[in-house]
Amino acid sequence: MLTDHELARYLELTDPAELQELYRKAYEVKLRHIGKKVSLRGLIEISNICRKNCYYCGIRSGNTSVRRYRIDAEDIIHSALWALEHHYGSIVLQSGEVVSEEFSSFIEKIVREIRTRSEGRLGITLCCGEQTPAVYERWRKAGAHRYLLRIETSDPLFYAKLHPADHNFEARKQCLRELRKLDYQVGSGVMSGLPGQTAEQLVHDLRFFQEFDLDMIGMGPYIPHCDTPLGKGIELTPEYRRKQLEIGLKMIACTRLLLEDVNIASTTALQALSDTGREQGLLAGANVIMPNVTDTSYRRGYQLYADKPALDENSEQSCSSLTEKILSIGEQILWDEYGDSRHYFKRKEL
Ligand code: 5AD
Ligand code: SF4
């Protein structure tokens, strides 16, 4: 039973030895609940078209210097089947937020097609923003069984500072509830190290994860993007990067200590800050990695933040270098498994 005060103290640690001790404790909890195991999800960034205009994000609708794309259905399915052949067991289809009948049925068809062609051997996670319950239901019926929708921050006033006035915090929370009702495994998360963010706010985020009884957590440190209102003028010095990586790792560790058996992703943002960022994430308590399997020709279009890694690396290269890195820290990869959240099954038993 960790108190808010203890959590805040963890998040404020700076002493290297104390930090290592925190990560070690979190890793032990991961070992107890999950073992030395890492689940992989092939990430496909299907479109960078987004109707939202979040102040921190490089593909916000207001950024006119982004060339917008949507990958053709056949090419998305091709990447999904590539992931299957390479024993990934699971994929994430991620896109900017588009609300239209055309988009809903596009996703629905792709999900159905991947389910059929993979004979149900690929777990499918969607990450396509806020939609109506009816759309979530269609996608669920088509065969998606996990959904990621980050709350970004659990503090409504801070949320209002990071987003234009028409972005609605309550609506986002309601989406998480709807997803839950539809029996998705539900994931959410926040960014850490945002300008002006306090340890107390991050503790509130951790309590939010707990209160919403989430199955999966995907979060990462904020990384400025120069074409955004929030990122303009922030210099990415080595010291800045080090701090961002550190707060990202501390949030993973605290989440593991608090939520114990959920799936926690070691996200690309960590890798953007350090070559070994994702491995460090695993050693601080994360158990999921999402290697990018998007066709390399599209990757430049999906830059949420500066210095996105592996822009030129093809999926084949990403796969073998990642496998080596994971094995080198003594972890095993769960090949050919969905890698479902244990928490989801436990809460269903209750
Ligand atoms: N730095 C880090 N993460 C970001 N995201 C968007 N912009 C940034 C940024 N500048 C994250 C958000 C979003 C996810 C797709 O990427 O949390 O939910
Ligand atoms: Fe769109 Fe997500 Fe970026 Fe916001 S964070 S602009 S919703 S892609």
- Over residues 37-88, the pLDDT tens digits come to 999 999 999 999 999 999 999 999 999 999 999 999 999 999 999 999 999 9
Grouping H, G, I as helix, E, B as strand and the rest as coil, residue 11 is: helix
How many A from CA of 92 to the centre of ligand 1?
A: 16
**Ligand index nearest the alpha carbon of residue 129:** 2
Ligand 1 pocket mutation pick from 217, 305, 308 by most atoms within 8 angstroms of CB: 305
Those residues whose C-beta lies under 8 Å from the C-beta of residue 344, and which sit 6 or more positions away, are 185, 215
Phi, psi of 48 (to 5 degrees): -105, 15
pLDDT for 337:
94
Instruction: Please tell me the distance between residue 153's alpha carbon and the centre of ligand 2 in angstroms.
Output: 14
Instruction: Encode pLDDT of 311-347 as tens digits.
Output: 777 788 778 888 899 999 999 999 999 999 899 998 8
> Model confidence over 271-293: pLDDT tens digits?
999 999 999 999 999 999 999 99
- pLDDT above 70: percentage of residues in the chain: 100
Over residues 247-255, the mean pLDDT reads 98
The closest ligand to the CA of 153 turns out to be 1
Q: Of 62, 44, 70, 46, which Cα lies nearest the Cα of 231?
A: 62
Give the pLDDT mean for 99-105.
98
* Model pLDDT for residues 4-37, shown as the tens digit of each residue: 999 999 999 999 999 999 999 999 999 999 999 9
Distance (Å, rounded) from C-alpha 208 to C-alpha 79? 34
- Give how far Cα 50 sits from Cα of 129, 138, 277, 315, Å: 9, 21, 28, 25
Mutate to test the pocket of ligand 2, among 48, 54, 304 (most ligand atoms within 8 A of CB): 54
Closest CA to 99 of 52, 165, 160, 147: 52
The ligand 2 atom at the shortest distance from the C-alpha of residue 56 is: 5
pLDDT of residue 347: 86
- Under a CB-based contact definition with an 8 Å cutoff, are residues 44 and 91 in contact? yes
Place 245 in a pLDDT band, splitting at 50, 70 and 90: very high
Task: Let me know: does 263 contact 219? Beta carbons within 8 Å.
Answer: no
- Which two structure tokens, joined as six digits, stand for 38? 């890492």
The DSSP output letter for 67 is P
One-letter identity of residue 188 = S
Inter-residue contact 38 to 332 (CB < 8 Å)? yes
Phi, psi of 33 (to 5 degrees): -95, -25
Task: Indicate the SS3 state at residue 106.
Answer: helix
Two tokens, residue 81? 């089947």
Give the pLDDT confidence score for residue 196 in this predicted structure: 97
Q: Classify 284 as helix, strand or coil.
A: coil
Q: Residue of the nearest CA to atom 3 in ligand 1?
A: 222
Q: Residue whose CA is closest, atom 3 of ligand 2?
A: 57
Closest CA relative to residue 322, chosen from 132, 32, 40: 40
* Segment 123-146 mean pLDDT: 98
Q: How far apart are CA 343 and CA 346, in angstroms?
A: 5
d(CA 72, CA 109): 12
Q: List the one residue out of 253, 218, 247, 216 whose CA is nearest residue 30.
A: 253
| Sign of the torsion angle spanned by Cα atoms 222, 343, 277, 323 | negative
Q: Can you say whether the dihedral through the CA atoms of 122, 127, 133, 135 is positive or negative?
A: negative
Q: Look at 347 and 155; give whichever has higher pLDDT.
A: 155
| Nearest ligand, measured from the Cα of 230 | 1
Alpha helices in the chain (DSSP H): 4-11, 16-33, 73-85, 101-117, 133-142, 156-162, 169-181, 199-211, 238-259, 268-273, 277-283, 296-299, 315-328, 342-349
**pTM for the model:** 0.96
Distance CA 111, CA 143 (A): 6
Q: How far apart are CA 279 and CA 286, in angstroms?
A: 9
Atom of ligand 1 lying closest to residue 305 CA: 10
Instruction: Read off the tokens for 93.
Output: 């289809």
Neighbours of 108 (CB within 10 A): 18
